[in-house]
């Protein structure tokens, strides 16, 4: 904890003065473009991975980067998604999974979570991912961890589409959805390609194609 407290002092003495103008502007409000939904795992730093500044990402984190399907029962994720889309007007939503995900290990072996009943219930939102992978192979084990993690991103994107504010934004062309997979050891980010239904490297070709699509959308708006 000592290094955390020292970090606060370093922020106040060094980081804040260097970015004082940005922070003073942010003190009056926020206008992020991206809602970034990822795992609560301590190894994931969305701002570091995306090299973004404060105010650029609206970040939601939980075990397994889960988006519960919309229901009449209010929860933190449901409220945060609604606020980001309807109040802040974000135009992109990213769901980002990661390698060696403990939540996905729990989803694969829920029988080991009896001492963590709330975690076990929460990971019920990942069951569609485990069942899809089980159906592909006829069995399910830890050797399928990365595949389950990727499939979970795809299934959570499906859940996201059930939220009214998101459905409305998609129908009007105001929102784009993105599924990512972050490899911690390699520092690599894969993206879900809707056409091939597979995850591909986020390389220069992908970035160029995305910039071209964005320019077209901006021209139409």
Domain CATH number, residue 169? 3.40.1050.10
The reported pLDDT for the residue numbered 126 is 98
The reported pLDDT for the residue numbered 218 is 59
The reported pLDDT for the residue numbered 40 is 98
Is this prediction's pTM over 0.75?
Answer: yes
Residue 196 lies in a domain: yes
Residue 109 lies in a domain: yes
Q: Which of 6-10, 43-47, 63-67, 212-216 has the lowest mean pLDDT?
A: 212-216
Give the model confidence (pLDDT) of 34-87 as tens digits: 999 999 999 999 999 999 999 999 999 999 999 999 998 889 999 999 999 999
- Segment 196-221 mean pLDDT: 77
Question: Given its phi and psi angles, is residue 78 left (phi above 0), alpha (psi -120 to 50 degrees) or beta?
Answer: alpha
Distance CA 17, CA 11 (A): 9
Residue 59 lies in a domain: yes
- Residue 181 phi/psi, 5-degree rounding, is -130, 120
Instruction: Grade residue 8 by pLDDT with cuts at 50, 70 and 90.
Output: very high
Residue 145 lies in a domain: yes
Whether 36 contacts 50, CB under 8 Å: yes
Give the model confidence (pLDDT) of 137-153 as tens digits: 999 999 999 999 999 99
Give the model confidence (pLDDT) of 74-126 as tens digits: 899 999 999 999 999 999 999 999 999 999 999 999 999 999 999 999 999 99
The reported pLDDT for the residue numbered 207 is 80
> Which of residues 33 and 73 earns the better pLDDT score?
33
Residue 216 lies in a domain: yes
* pLDDT > 60? residue 221: no
- Residue 42 phi/psi, 5-degree rounding, is -65, -15
Quickly tell me which residue has 């990213």 as its tokens.
94
Tell me how many domains the chain contains: 1
Distance CA 17, CA 24 (A): 11
Instruction: Grade residue 212 by pLDDT with cuts at 50, 70 and 90.
Output: confident
Distance CA 46, CA 219 (A): 29
Distance CA 151, CA 101 (A): 13
* pLDDT > 90? residue 205: no
* pLDDT > 80? residue 127: yes
For the chain, percent of residues with pLDDT exceeding 70: 96
Distance CA 5, CA 2 (A): 5
The reported pLDDT for the residue numbered 216 is 57
The reported pLDDT for the residue numbered 55 is 97
Residue 37 lies in a domain: yes
Look up the domain containing 176 and give its range: 30-220
Q: Tell me how far CA of residue 196 lies from CA of 134, 170, 190, 192, 193, in angstroms.
A: 20, 21, 13, 9, 6
* Three-class SS state of 72: coil
Residue 205 lies in a domain: yes
Q: Which two tokens stand for residue 48?
A: 């570091």
Count of residues in the chain: 221
The reported pLDDT for the residue numbered 67 is 98
The reported pLDDT for the residue numbered 166 is 98
């Amino acid at each position: 904890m000592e290094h955390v407290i020292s970090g606060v002092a370093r922020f106040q003495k060094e980081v804040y003065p260097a970015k004082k103008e940005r922070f003073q502007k942010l003190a009056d409000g926020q206008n992020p473009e991206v809602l970034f939904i990822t795992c609560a795992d301590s190894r994931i730093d969305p701002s570091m991975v995306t090299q973004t500044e404060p105010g650029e990402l609206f970040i939601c984190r939980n075990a397994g980067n889960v988006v519960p399907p919309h229901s009449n029962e209010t929860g933190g994720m449901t409220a945060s998604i609604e606020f980001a889309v309807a109040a802040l007007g974000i135009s992109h939503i990213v769901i980002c999974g990661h390698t060696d995900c403990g939540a996905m290990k729990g989803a694969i072996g829920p029988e080991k979570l009896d001492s963590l009943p709330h975690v076990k219930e929460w990971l019920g939102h990942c069951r569609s991912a485990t069942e899809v992978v089980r159906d592909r192979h006829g069995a399910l084990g830890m050797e399928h961890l990365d595949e389950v993690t990727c499939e979970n991103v795809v299934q959570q994107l499906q859940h996201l589409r059930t939220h009214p504010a998101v459905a409305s934004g998609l129908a009007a062309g105001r929102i784009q959805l993105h599924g990512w997979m972050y490899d911690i050891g390699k520092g690599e980010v894969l993206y879900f390609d809707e056409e091939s239904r597979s995850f591909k490297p986020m390389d220069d070709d992908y970035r160029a194609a995305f910039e071209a699509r964005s320019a077209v959308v901006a021209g139409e708006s």
